[in-house]
């Protein structure tokens, strides 16, 4: 009896230990990636990096200022094209959609978030680039927006559902039409949470490379307009990383450090923002 008892305890302890080991194993790569990016990237960050254009092959120096601007442009366009539709679709699902149609939308959004980002690139290429006959910031922005859309929709829906029914009823009871109640009471109450979700979605698309390869493409010069091929940090990192030049590798690490820094800041601040709210619920 007692022997069996100890045996069971032992198995239990072993399984728990294995779970701990698995968790540590999962986190090791995170630590390694952050360590490498920091230690290799820090040396490449100087003033020229932020202010100058990339130098042609063979010349050292230069920066990737155009890629910063390009990334900002692309992410800005993505927000413009992706957030309003996403939020409204989320509002529909949470406030109006009780029927089969809402289920279909919800399901499509979930499924869409699993579609490989490279196929979104092909989609936008055939949709926009082939028609306008040019790679452009617009095309890149649309690709990133498509990527954001399901996340924004589902986040909005979920957060709107957390808003207590009594708030809706109170507003409607005051004689406010439903659309006003939704916009200025329900949506407003959920706004901080939704903003957090959107921040996370932005963090995700800011680092996307695959859908940009054949939509925004790349550009060694300053962006001259949204209809032009546009450089971006992730694509630039890719180009430099697979090149054979040491100087470019160094630049790739530096850009990686910035990109990771940006993503981390967005993620950590999203968490800090959402934390107290969840607790007080």
Residues between 42 and 101 that touch other proteins (CB under 8 A): 84-86, 88-89, 91-93, 95-97, 101
Under the criterion CB under 8 A, does residue 207 sit at the interface with other proteins? Answer: yes
Under the criterion CB under 8 A, does residue 21 sit at the interface with other proteins? Answer: yes
- Of 7 and 51, nearer to other proteins (C-beta) is 7
Contacts with other proteins, 238-277, as mask; x by CB under 8 A = x--xx------x--xx--x--xx--xx--x---x--x---
User: How big, in percent rounded to 5, are the helix, strand and coil portions of the chain?
Assistant: 80, 0, 20
Burial of 78-113, coded b for 16+ CB within 10 Å and e otherwise, reads bbebbbeebbebbbbbbbebeeeeeeebbeebeebe
**Hey, how many other C-beta atoms are within 10 angstroms of the C-beta on 76?**
15
Under the criterion CB under 8 A, does residue 148 sit at the interface with other proteins? Answer: no
Query: In a 3-state reduction of DSSP, which class is residue 207?
Result: coil
Query: Pick from 71, 151, 182, 219: which binds other proteins (CB under 8 A)?
Result: 182
Closest separation between CB of residue 174 and other proteins, Å? 14
What is the torsional sign of CA 32, 244, 203, 117?
negative
- Of 78 and 259, nearer to other proteins (C-beta) is 259
Q: Which stretch binds other proteins (CB under 8 A): 13-21, 45-53, 54-62, 69-77?
A: 13-21
- Of 51 and 145, nearer to other proteins (C-beta) is 145
Under the criterion CB under 8 A, does residue 188 sit at the interface with other proteins? Answer: no
Pick out residues in 102-141 that bind other proteins (CB under 8 A). Answer: 102, 104-105, 107-112, 114-123, 125-127
Query: Pick from 49, 68, 81, 217: which binds other proteins (CB under 8 A)?
Result: 217
Distance, in Å, from the CA atom of 224 to the CA atom of 31, rounded to the nearest integer, reads 39
Question: Quick one: DSSP state of residue 212?
Answer: G
Residues 6+ apart with CB under 8 A from 93: 102, 105, 106, 153, 156, 157
Closest separation between CB of residue 25 and other proteins, Å? 5
**Hey, how many other C-beta atoms are within 10 angstroms of the C-beta on 175?**
8
Under the criterion CB under 8 A, does residue 278 sit at the interface with other proteins? Answer: yes
């Amino acid at each position: 009896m007692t022997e069996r008892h100890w045996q069971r305890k032992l198995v239990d302890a072993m399984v728990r230990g294995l779970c701990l080991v698995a968790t540590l194993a999962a986190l090791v790569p995170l630590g390694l990636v952050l360590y490498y990016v920091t230690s290799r990237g820090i040396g490449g960050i100087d003033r020229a990096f932020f202010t100058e254009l990339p130098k042609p092959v063979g010349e050292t120096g230069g920066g990737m200022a155009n890629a910063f601007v390009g990334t900002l442009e692309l992410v800005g366009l993505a927000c413009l094209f992706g957030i309003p539709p996403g939020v409204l679709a989320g509002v529909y699902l949470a406030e109006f959609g009780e029927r089969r149609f809402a289920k279909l939308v919800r399901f499509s959004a979930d499924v869409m978030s699993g579609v490989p980002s490279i196929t979104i690139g092909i989609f936008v290429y055939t949709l926009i680039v082939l028609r306008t006959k040019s790679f452009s910031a617009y095309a890149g922005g649309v690709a990133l927006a498509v990527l954001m859309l399901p996340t924004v929709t589902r986040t909005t829906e979920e957060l709107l559902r957390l808003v207590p029914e009594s708030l809706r009823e109170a507003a409607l009871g005051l004689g406010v039409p439903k659309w006003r109640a939704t916009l200025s009471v329900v949506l407003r109450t959920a706004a901080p949470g939704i903003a957090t979700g959107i921040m996370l979605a932005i963090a995700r698309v800011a680092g996307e490379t695959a859908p940009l390869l054949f939509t925004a493409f790349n550009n060694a010069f300053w962006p001259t307009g949204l209809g032009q091929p546009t450089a971006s940090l992730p694509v630039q990192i890719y180009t430099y990383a697979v090149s054979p030049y040491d100087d470019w590798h160094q630049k790739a690490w530096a850009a990686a450090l910035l990109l990771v820094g940006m993503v981390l800041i967005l993620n950590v601040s999203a968490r800090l923002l959402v934390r107290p709210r969840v607790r007080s619920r």
